[in-house]
């Protein structure tokens, strides 16, 4: 493992074993910035293991983000490693599960309790529980960022098409939780910037079944999404605190 420079901020990325999370991990590692990669099977992920074998400053921690006991363990592991991440980026999310026959609802009759629970567990509850357990391990004497990937379809004001009940509602719930978190942390953690980010439609397993009608110029590679998101996160300051921001830096209505 290479030794990071003193100025290299430490990033913790959830959902780091695939999609945008993996692309963000690679992006910052290539800039010699240390990363704590978190996912259910981070320590056995071939892509992450390959990065470690290259000597990248990468720590992999297995965590089920929906298990609060494991979130508590994650915080303790970070402390034991002597790490204090300046940036925490939640890229974990849930949209569909073909094996369980769960997919975005097209009509009211498609809505099920199980689908709602799955969506809310990962898309709404995980971000605020991550904040609860991990913000205390972040340094308080310098600029820090807590960012979570939301989605434009979570905007209530921008909902003109309907459908996707559970995904829309869970992302809207995440936005409200992050907005509330931003209000509290402005007082308690004045150096912390809380952001909800819309990455744009990205070519990942999450969006793959729904890409048919997306124009080619609006379908981003994970690498492009990672570059765009990293630019927003790395340039964040107090003016971005509590914002819901699109990949191009524009505000999205709540």
pLDDT for position 5: 45
Q: Is residue 95 part of a domain?
A: yes
pLDDT for position 8: 84
pLDDT tens profile 180-232:
999 999 999 999 999 999 999 887 766 666 666 777 777 889 999 999 999 99
Q: Is residue 124 part of a domain?
A: yes
Distance CA(74)–CA(70), nearest Å, equals 6
Q: Is residue 191 part of a domain?
A: yes
φ and ψ at 13, to 5 degrees? -125, 125
Residue 84: CA count within 13 A, CB half-sphere:
10
Q: Is residue 132 part of a domain?
A: yes
Distance CA(200)–CA(186), nearest Å, equals 27
The pLDDT mean for the chain works out to 93
Radius of gyration of the chain (CA): 17
Does residue 78 register a pLDDT over 70? Answer: yes
Question: For residue 61, what are the CA distances in angstroms to 53, 88, 151, 231, 235?
Answer: 16, 14, 26, 25, 27
Total domains, the chain: 1
Q: Is residue 145 part of a domain?
A: yes
Contacts of 190 (CB under 8 A, 6+ apart): none
Does residue 2 register a pLDDT over 70? Answer: no
Q: Is residue 79 part of a domain?
A: yes
Q: Is residue 2 part of a domain?
A: no
For residue 183, the domain's CATH number is 3.40.50.720
- What average pLDDT does the segment 226-242 reach? 98
pLDDT for position 7: 64
Give the range of the structural domain holding residue 168, as residue numbers without chain letter: 11-246
Q: Is residue 5 part of a domain?
A: no
């Amino acid at each position: 493992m290479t030794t990071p420079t003193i100025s290299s901020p430490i990033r913790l990325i959830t959902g780091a074993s695939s999609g945008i999370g993996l692309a963000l991990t690679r992006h910052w590692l290539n800039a010699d910035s240390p990363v704590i990669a978190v996912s259910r099977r981070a320590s056995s992920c071939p892509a992450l293991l390959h990065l470690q074998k290259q000597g990248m400053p990468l720590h992999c921690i297995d965590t089920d983000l929906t298990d609060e006991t494991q979130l508590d363990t994650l915080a303790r592991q970070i402390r034991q490693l002597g790490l204090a991440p300046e940036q925490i980026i939640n890229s974990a999310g849930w949209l569909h599960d073909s094996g369980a026959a769960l997919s975005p609802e097209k009509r009211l009759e498609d809505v099920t309790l199980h689908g709602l629970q799955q969506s809310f567990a990962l898309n709404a509850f995980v971000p605020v529980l991550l904040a609860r357990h991990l913000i205390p391990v972040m340094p308080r004497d310098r600029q820090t960022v807590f960012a979570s990937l939301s989605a434009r379809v979570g905007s209530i004001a921008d909902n003109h098409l309907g459908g996707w009940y559970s995904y829309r509602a869970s992302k809207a719930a995440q936005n409200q939780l992050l907005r509330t978190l931003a209000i509290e942390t402005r007082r308690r953690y004045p150096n912390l910037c809380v952001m909800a980010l819309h990455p744009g439609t990205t070519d990942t397993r999450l969006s793959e079944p729904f890409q048919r009608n997306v124009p080619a110029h609006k379908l981003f590679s994970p690498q492009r999404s990672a570059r765009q998101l990293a630019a927003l996160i790395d340039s964040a300051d107090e003016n971005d605190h509590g914002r819901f921001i699109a990949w191009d830096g524009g505000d999205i209505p709540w």
